[in-house]
Amino acid sequence: MKTEFTADQLDQPPIAEANEILRACVHCGFCLSSCPTYALTGDELDSPRGRIYLIKNMLEGGGPPDADTVHHIDRCLSCMSCLTACPSGVDYMHLVDTARGHIQTHHRRSIVDRLMRWLMATILPRPGVFRAALIMAKPAQMFRGILPNTVGRLTEFAPNKIPPSGSLVGIHRPDGPPVKRIAMLAGCVQSVLGGGINEATIRLLTRHGCEVIVAPDAGCCGALVQHMGHENSARSQARANIQAWSSIDGGVDAVVVTASGCGTTVKDYGHMFADDPDMAQAAASIAAIAKDVTEIMAELGLGVAVPLPDVSVAYHDACSLQHGQGIRAEPRALLEQAGFEVSDIAEGQFCCGSAGTYNLLQPEMADALGARKVGHVDATGAHVVASGNLGCMIQMARFTERPMVHTVELLDWATGGPKPTALEIPRAGVS
Ligand code: SF4
Ligand code: SF4
């Protein structure tokens, strides 16, 4: 694609990078059929190629983008399905991040939109504040009718029962001498709503000989705010993690992440700090050892599986795991080794509509994708759905009674851990 940036614009590293990315696009359109928003609307401007044109025009023009451009870029899920599909290697992930940063700086959103985004950027990355907000959200549902639609939707995501709080900070040791030392990202939203996933990860890894360290100063990976265009906040949260993990006494062999949206971001820390001489090396070192839990388990080898009732599993590929990290085979192989019958879900390349804060900010598109995904899930007839990302589990659970579990919870159960909580509720075929 031909671009027309000025020399001054090209002196800015994000624009110089965007220029290279844009030039790699040859307009072939192979990405169109991979894009869930294009599948829903059929509008070229809701496709990767259409958005690439919009981003090019917006960045070349500089200054405030028009409302149509913002509308179509906001509707992008950042699911990276187009990244997988593109034969020319167009780095759409970093291009759309630059576009979101430009919109955040140059576009004034409506007051409700700004309030919604401020609430999410303030509440979600802070586990204590998030927990308090969830407790207040239940009674607030009574006022759903008078709350702005977008703010009211926030209250819908509060679960009926909020899991008990409990810190996992510290060192979790295996029975014998450790075969690996691993720092675990407990996360922000996951540490509140998916504490059981973190506990299952610690049990699974220590059972397989690893020492697991949860550093006290590590927190949100930065992805939530980055996808809203808040680049400085994202870097500040990432910096805290890098410093927390780099200063662990004796070092670690890996940083394990069990929320794949976060894993994609941690693996990109090197890129995030490439222009920062104080942080570049440490960021690149952390990014190089960041691993999804299934990558680590594939390296370690799954221990002997204990006998389980017949449980069939529909495996949902989270976009951030399959497109963002290129991981598809490991979770399936591990689940099968553990003794589960695993089935694929049709249109597996498509997002379920979760996409970080997308299901809060783009309710219509998110709900359409969620219902479409769950229709395919139900067609498998599997007892449970497994995924490597809590956000997908929460999103899909809104459309089906079928239990949602994290892959690691099944692996933990199959190697001697407790039955996943979601399976404690009696369901047909799972005893
Ligand atoms: S597939 Fe790649 S090169 Fe082709 S239009 Fe899409 S982004 Fe551009
Ligand atoms: S990231 Fe996903 S939603 Fe956005 S353009 Fe690419 S395929 Fe479409």
Domains of the chain, CATH where assigned: 7-106 (1.10.1060.10), 111-156 (no CATH), 170-297 (3.40.50), 304-423 (3.40.50.11810)
At 425 the pLDDT is 55
Give me the amino acid identity at 309.
P
From the CA of 92, give the closest atom in ligand 1.
Answer: 7
Calculate how far, in angstroms, residue 76's C-alpha sits from the geometric centre of ligand 2: 5
Calculate how far, in angstroms, residue 115's C-alpha sits from the geometric centre of ligand 2: 26
Does pLDDT of 120 surpass 80? yes
Which residue, by CA, sits nearest to atom 2 of ligand 1?
86
C-beta of residue 263 within 8 angstroms of C-beta of residue 290: yes
Summarize the confidence of residues 267-274 as an average pLDDT: 97
Local confidence band at 431 (pLDDT 50, 70, 90 cut-offs)? very low
Local confidence band at 428 (pLDDT 50, 70, 90 cut-offs)? very low
Residues 6+ apart with CB under 8 A from 311: 340, 341, 383, 384, 410, 423, 429, 430
Local confidence band at 203 (pLDDT 50, 70, 90 cut-offs)? very high
Higher per-residue confidence, 334 vs 192: 334
Local confidence band at 365 (pLDDT 50, 70, 90 cut-offs)? very high
Pocket of ligand 1 (CB under 6 A): 25-31, 48-49, 52, 82, 86, 88, 90
Calculate how far, in angstroms, residue 75's C-alpha sits from the geometric centre of ligand 1: 18
- Note if the pTM is more than 0.75: yes
Q: Please report which residue ranges of 48-110 form alpha helices under DSSP H.
A: 48-61, 67-74, 81-85, 92-106
Dihedral of CA atoms 353, 358, 363, 368 in degrees, nearest 10, equals -20
DSSP label of 406: E
Which ligand is closest to the CA of 88, given by its number? 1
At 429 the pLDDT is 43
From the CA of 93, give the closest atom in ligand 2.
Answer: 1
Does pLDDT of 427 surpass 50? no
Each residue's pLDDT tens digit, 281-337: 999 999 999 999 999 999 999 987 787 888 899 999 999 999 999 999 999 999 999
At 135 the pLDDT is 84
Dihedral of CA atoms 363, 369, 375, 381 in degrees, nearest 10, equals -100
At 164 the pLDDT is 74
C-beta of residue 263 within 8 angstroms of C-beta of residue 257: yes
With CA atoms as reference, report the closest residue to 183 among 256, 108, 132.
Answer: 256
**% of the chain residues with pLDDT over 70:** 97
From the CA of 75, give the closest atom in ligand 2.
Answer: 3
DSSP label of 2: -
At 244 the pLDDT is 97
Which residue, by CA, sits nearest to atom 6 of ligand 1?
31
Cα 294–Cα 296–Cα 301 angle in degrees, nearest 5: 90
Higher per-residue confidence, 374 vs 148: 374
At 424 the pLDDT is 78
Summarize the confidence of residues 41-64 as an average pLDDT: 97
Pocket of ligand 2 (CB under 6 A): 34-37, 48, 51, 76-82, 92
Q: What is the CA radius of gyration of the chain?
A: 21
DSSP label of 427: B
Dihedral of CA atoms 281, 91, 106, 112 in degrees, nearest 10, equals -100
Which residue, by CA, sits nearest to atom 6 of ligand 2?
82
**% of the chain residues with pLDDT over 90:** 78
Calculate how far, in angstroms, residue 206's C-alpha sits from the geometric centre of ligand 1: 44
At 193 the pLDDT is 87
Residue 427: count of CB within 10 angstroms of its CB:
14
> Which of 110-124, 150-164, 259-273 is predicted with the least confidence, judged by mean pLDDT?
150-164
Which ligand is closest to the CA of 37, given by its number? 2
Q: Which two tokens stand for residue 181?
A: 């030392």
C-beta of residue 227 within 8 angstroms of C-beta of residue 357: yes
- Residues present in the chain in total: 431
Across 102-144, the runs of DSSP E, i.e. the strands, are none
Calculate how far, in angstroms, residue 32's C-alpha sits from the geometric centre of ligand 1: 8
336: enclosing H helix or E strand:
helix 329-337
At 430 the pLDDT is 45
Does pLDDT of 149 surpass 80? no
